[in-house]
Structure 1
C-alpha cells in the first residue's frame, strides 16, 4: 500500500498561544510504505500545557526517525510505539517534578505499514477512519460532570503526564485503497460535520492535498466560531504498487 499524509495546527480565533502540536511523516523501508501521524493537545487547565504536547511530538518524531528496518512484523512495530508512549509519560512526569511545572497533553496517533494500521489515544483527541462511512476509532477519555441541574460538561479522565497508571486505548485492523484517517484535536471535531470529514479525504492523492484539505477543515470550524486551538492531520491510502519515499513534518 502507498500512503500520503499532511496536516496543520492553528492557534484559532481567540487563544494567545497554541498548545497543540502535530507530527506527520511517511517513508519507505525495505520497499514498504510506512506512515505515522500524531496530534497532541496540551491541557488548557494547566499553565504549561504546551510543554507536554511539544515533548510528545518531538519524542515521537525521534522514534519514527529511528526506524530504519522493517521486516514485516507489524505487531512488533506497534508494540514499540506503545512502549514509547509509556516512556514519554514517565519522562513528562519526571520533568514536572524536577522543574515544578504543571503540564499534560492528549495524544492520538496512527501508524500504518503496508496493509496494516495501529491507532492509539489517551485523552479526548480523536481519530476518525473514513472508509465509505465515517467511524470514530478512538475512545474519548472523559467523564461527565454536572455543573448544575441544566448543564453537564465533560472532564478529561486521563492524559499523558498526569499519572503513572495511564491506559492507552488501541485498535488495529487492515487498510484498503481509498481508506483515510483524520486525526484531530477537540478544536476541530466539536464543530466539524460527518459529511465534511468524509469529503475532506475523498479526492486526496498526495501530501499537498492532505495539507490543503486539513486547512479547509480548520477554516470551516474557525468560521463557525470555534475558540480553541485547532489541529488536523490526514493519512490517506492512495493505492498499491511501488511507494516513493517522501517525508514531511
Structure 2
C-alpha cells in the first residue's frame, strides 16, 4: 500500500498561524494530523504543535498497532504539563483530527471541529461530526449541517485538548478496509468553512494527484477569504494499492 500526501498550513489574515499539520509514513503505514490552536487562548499555536508532535511520536515509536487513543491521551498530558510549567500557557487549547492507515485499514479520531472527510469513487462516505454547539443544533434538527458555516455560535466548542480531565476523543475503532483510490481530507475550520462538501467532491474527481486536489481546494479558500480570515490547514491523502497503476 502506498500513499500520495499533500499538506499545507497558512496563517491567512491572522498575525500568527495557530494551526499545525504533520504526517509520518513507516513500512506501508501512515499517520496524519491536523491541529487548530484556539485563537481566544494564550499559546494556541504551542498547544497545536505539542498535540500533533505527541501523536506522531507515539505512531513512530509504537512496535505494533499505532494507538490513536494513546497518542491523543499523550498529547493531552503534554499540554497539561506545559500548562503547569507556564502561567502564560495555562489556558492554551487545541482541536485535533488524526488518521492512521495500517494493514489495509484506516482508523481516525478527533476532538473539536477539525474534520476528516473520506471519499470513495467520487462520493463522500464519511464526515466527522464536530464537538460544537452548532453540531448539537444539527443533531437536534434545529439547523442544517451547512448552516454551521455561518452560524453565530460556530466557534463554541465543548471538547478540546487542554481542557481539564481526559481528552474524550471520538474514535473510529473498527477500522475501514481501504480500497485503491480512496481519498481522505483532514482540515481545520478555516479550510472547511469556505469549501463546501460538494466542492471537495467535485475537485477530487478532477484532480490527478493529492497535490492537485489540495491546490484546487485552496484556490476556493483564497477566492473567498476575507482580510481577517482564520488560519487554514489541510492534508490530502490518496490510497494506492496497485503500485503500477496510475491513480486518478
Q: Shared fold by TM > 0.5?
A: yes
Tell me which residue corresponds to 1:158: 159
Offset of residue 26 of structure 1? 2.1
Query: What secondary structure is seen at the aligned counterpart in 2 of 1:106?
Result: strand
Offset of residue 81 of structure 1? 2.6
1:209-237 CA deviation, whole Å, 9 max, x = no partner? Answer: 42343233223112112511111101111
Number of residue equivalences:
222
Unaligned runs of 5+ in 2: 138-150
Tell me which residue corresponds to 1:57: 52
Structure-1 separation of matches of 2:38 and 2:178: 32
Greater strand share, structure number: 1
Tell me which residue corresponds to 1:17: 16
1:167-186 CA deviation, whole Å, 9 max, x = no partner? Answer: 11012321111111100000
Offset of residue 203 of structure 1? 6.2
The answer to whether the 8 A contact 1:5-1:25 is kept is: no
Query: What secondary structure is seen at the aligned counterpart in 1 of 2:240?
Result: strand
Tell me which residue corresponds to 1:130: 119
Tell me which residue corresponds to 1:8: 8
Distance 1:4-1:217 versus aligned 2 partners, 3 A rule? same
The answer to whether the 8 A contact 1:5-1:235 is kept is: yes
Indicate yes or no: 2:183 matched with 1:180. Answer: yes
Regions of 4+ moved over 3 Å: 199-205
Distance 1:174-1:129 versus aligned 2 partners, 3 A rule? same
The answer to whether the 8 A contact 1:119-1:138 is kept is: no
Query: What secondary structure is seen at the aligned counterpart in 2 of 1:120?
Result: strand
The answer to whether the 8 A contact 1:8-1:215 is kept is: no
Bigger shift: 2-11 or 178-187?
A: 2-11
Tell me which residue corresponds to 1:40: 35
Distance 1:166-1:61 versus aligned 2 partners, 3 A rule? closer
How do 1:211-230 and structure 2 match up within 5 A?
Answer: 211-226=211-226, 227-230=229-232
Unaligned runs of 5+ in 1: 71-76, 243-249
What is the aligned-residue RMSD (CA, Å)?
A: 2.3
What TM-score do the two structures reach when normalised by structure 2?
A: 0.81
Query: What secondary structure is seen at the aligned counterpart in 1 of 2:133?
Result: strand
Structure-2 separation of matches of 1:199 and 1:5: 19
Structure of higher RCO (CA pairs closer than 8 Å, 6+ residues apart): 1
How do 1:168-207 and structure 2 match up within 5 A?
Answer: 168-171=169-172, 172-202=175-205
Offset of residue 152 of structure 1? 4.2
Query: Which of the residues 60, 70, 75 maps onto 1:83?
Result: 70
Tell me which residue corresponds to 1:109: 98
The answer to whether the 8 A contact 1:4-1:26 is kept is: no
Offset of residue 241 of structure 1? 4.9
